[in-house]
Structure 1
Amino acid sequence: MLFFALNGSDDLGRKIAAAGGFQVALHEEREFDGGEHKTRPLTSVRGKDVYVLHSLNGTSDASANDKLCRLLFFIATCKENGAARVTAVVPYLAYSRKDRQTKARDPVTTKYVAALFEAAGTDMIITLDAHTVIAYQNAYRCQSIHVDPNRLFAESLVAAMNSERYAVLSPDAGGIKRAQLFQETLETSAGRDIAFAMMEKRRSGGVVSGSLFAGDVDGRTVYVVDDMIVGGETVKRAARTCLENGARDVHVVATHALFGANGAENPVGDDIGRLFVTDSIEMPDHVAAALGSRLQIVSVAPLLGAVINRSHSSAYAS
């Protein structure tokens, strides 16, 4: 087996390799005048089971488009040079938010990205907490593996729980199933009942609206659960609503921290206590410094290392 981590995902790659007990294989990325580039493995991939890691979040150094292009080219290069199988390990999968048409002539970018991976020769794709699991699973004709971090988050939360009452809240209708599954995992891990709540959110032209709220959060510690946090407005709005309905305090659990290098210094506002995120995306230093002890980063490296090992073992068992 060979495991590569492209530039920008190399920190996470080293953690995954250490947790999984394998090495990060060497590769080269070169820039050319005019913005073109090339990426190639520096060891033979012929006949090998190859895994390529890259999280496709945009940064000040590389856009989501650039990262996607580099990943696709590297996968195609490995196939061109005789790799037996190539798996894309994409903790954050870009363009997953547009998975259906909600307005006339809307793109369905989830489907288009899947076609690009398949055209490059990808045999399997592994992602973490897809925006819409059904859309992700239905978009790919190659094998698609979905990894959820619920147990990792639950273990972190349970360690800090006390005799208080707790609730899990979905900040919008589209995230209800995600929040319900997390609630069930948290109940199992904690060995106690956890209440459930949800609220309405509509977004049109960049304006968020919706006032419906359902669930009992009065006197409870609430965990707002989402797959990603970008500008923070969704979770801030959810926190205000919970506090208005009597919540004792509010924390946020979000898998992907899409703050970017120029994001707000305090993306969760003052109504939110702790922010639990994974290291699927590298946290900008200024955000980490501003959040201080409120920020709790849960590493997905052991989880992804185990998934890669199981995938390789099952495919190449003697």
Structure 2
Amino acid sequence: MPAINEPKLISGNANLTLSTAVARRMSIHRGAKVDLVNARVERFNDQEIFVEIHENVRGEDMFIIQPTSNPANDNLMELLIIADTLRRSSAARITAVIPYFGYARQDRRTKARTPISAKLVANMIAHAGIERVLTMDLHAAQIQGFFDIPVDNLYASPIFALDIKHHFRDCLDEVMVVSPDVGGVARARELAKRINAPLSIVDKRREKPGEIAEMTVIGEVKDKRCIIIDDIADTAGTLVKAAELLMEYGAKEVHAYITHGVMSGPAVERVTGSVMKSLVITDTIEPTAAVRSAANIRVVPTAPIFAQAILNIWGGTSVSSLFEDATLEPLYETHYS
């Protein structure tokens, strides 16, 4: 069905920098200026969230850009309240653009008497009036099935592949992709296939949550430039230990490509003091000042792919086409020129 109304963006407070960048990229793609909707998203003295939209959105195709990152509960409530505001203002369709989907790690019951919080959050999003979700690198693919509305899950691996081909262009034959655990093998294999590199696995065994009892490397990493690929870096403890282990096994150098840089607690200090030559993250979560100033942490933009995905959803065209190099490379042409 051809699009009739213009796509309109509204942002919460979780990542205004990304929202502004998406609007700017959409303006470039369309050749017409796209601005964020003029709205007020603030808190009362008791921290209740209040939203007021200062322009007409009746009959419009609305896109809310709001990752549910730290503080997860506040940012989730902002998303739900913005959606309710738009629904009560007669928006034609509401799409939630959630670059980082919080609570995704609670996607199953690991023991008795525990919740499946990802399913609860999915229900809340649908009941708030949101009709479609656009996100990136869900922690578990089955979370898409928790929603009773369409979910478009973008992948960071095509972006990472472009970045690796640019920064390792003189030594691609030495690159080894490493999965930090058995559960992440599919993600690592996808990247390895894109850059035509071999795959290795760090097998870790935990005695209890947060504590690693034993780590071993499956695969020959000696004299390789190892690239660890994962979706989330939280406290970075496992990441740093995996890098140390790879160096012990004879790796020439270790880098890491992580989609969502949660980087809580001592994460930045651990990374800067580690044997890792570089950590590359995306801006799905607003990077802190400490992250931006860290010498061995680099941030790659997601605005180009999110902007095009929004335009594809608005225009009723394929989102999965963005997984192909031929479609993605032109979006990042200026970034890697």
TM-score by length of 2: 0.86
Q: Where do 1:158-169 residues align within 5 Å?
A: 158-161=165-168, 162-163=170-171, 164-169=173-178
Q: Which 5+ residue runs of structure 1 have no aligned equivalent?
A: 188-193
Q: Structure 2: which amino acid aligns with 1:181?
A: E
* Deviation, structure 1 residue 113: 0.7
* Corresponding residue of 2:61: 49
Do the aligned residues in 2 keep the contact of 1:195 with 1:216 (CA within 8 Å)?
Answer: no
* Deviation, structure 1 residue 184: 1.2
* Corresponding residue of 2:12: 6
* Deviation, structure 1 residue 205: 3.5
* Deviation, structure 1 residue 158: 1.0
270, 294, 299: which one aligns with 1:297 = 299
Matched, 1:75 2:83: yes
Q: Which 5+ residue runs of structure 2 have no aligned equivalent?
A: 1-6, 28-33, 318-337
Do the aligned residues in 2 keep the contact of 1:196 with 1:216 (CA within 8 Å)?
Answer: no
Secondary structure of the structure 2 residue equivalent to 1:159: helix
Secondary structure of the structure 2 residue equivalent to 1:272: coil
Matched, 1:33 2:58: no
310, 313, 317: which one aligns with 1:311 = 313
1:221-250 deviations in Å (ceiling 9; x for gaps): 000001011111111111112112111110
Secondary structure of the structure 2 residue equivalent to 1:252: strand
Aligned length: 301
1:233-268 deviations in Å (ceiling 9; x for gaps): 1111111121121111100000111124x5444232
Q: Where do 1:70-219 residues align within 5 Å?
A: 70-133=78-141, 135-161=142-168, 162-163=170-171, 164-187=173-196, 194-203=197-206, 204-219=208-223
* Corresponding residue of 1:284: 288
Q: State the identity %.
A: 28
1:50-82 deviations in Å (ceiling 9; x for gaps): 000011111xxxx21011011101111111221
Q: CA RMSD in A?
A: 1.5
Secondary structure of the structure 1 residue equivalent to 2:238: helix
* Deviation, structure 1 residue 295: 2.0
* Corresponding residue of 2:324: none
CA distance in 1, matches of 2:192, 2:186: 10
Q: Structure 1: which amino acid aligns with 2:124?
A: L
Q: Where do 1:202-241 residues align within 5 Å?
A: 202-203=205-206, 204-241=208-245
* Corresponding residue of 1:259: 263
Do the aligned residues in 1 keep the contact of 2:93 with 2:131 (CA within 8 Å)?
Answer: yes
Do the aligned residues in 1 keep the contact of 2:180 with 2:229 (CA within 8 Å)?
Answer: yes
CA distance in 2, matches of 1:275, 1:225: 10
Report which stretch shifted further, 142-151 or 22-31.
Answer: 22-31
Report which stretch shifted further, 101-110 or 45-54.
Answer: 101-110
CA distance in 2, matches of 1:74, 1:180: 38
Q: Structure 1: which amino acid aligns with 2:219?
A: G
* Deviation, structure 1 residue 209: 2.7
Report which stretch shifted further, 206-215 or 8-17.
Answer: 206-215
* Corresponding residue of 1:270: 274
* Deviation, structure 1 residue 136: 1.8
CA distance in 2, matches of 1:3, 1:264: 32
- Find runs of 4+ consecutive structure 1 residues off by over 3 angstroms: 262-265
CA distance in 1, matches of 2:103, 2:94: 21
CA distance in 2, matches of 1:85, 1:46: 10
Q: Structure 2: which amino acid aligns with 1:121?
A: G
Secondary structure of the structure 1 residue equivalent to 2:260: strand
* Deviation, structure 1 residue 121: 1.1
Do the aligned residues in 2 keep the contact of 1:47 with 1:84 (CA within 8 Å)?
Answer: yes
Do the aligned residues in 2 keep the contact of 1:52 with 1:86 (CA within 8 Å)?
Answer: yes
CA distance in 2, matches of 1:153, 1:73: 34
CA distance in 1, matches of 2:36, 2:174: 44
Secondary structure of the structure 1 residue equivalent to 2:63: strand
CA distance in 1, matches of 2:300, 2:221: 25
CA distance in 1, matches of 2:270, 2:309: 31
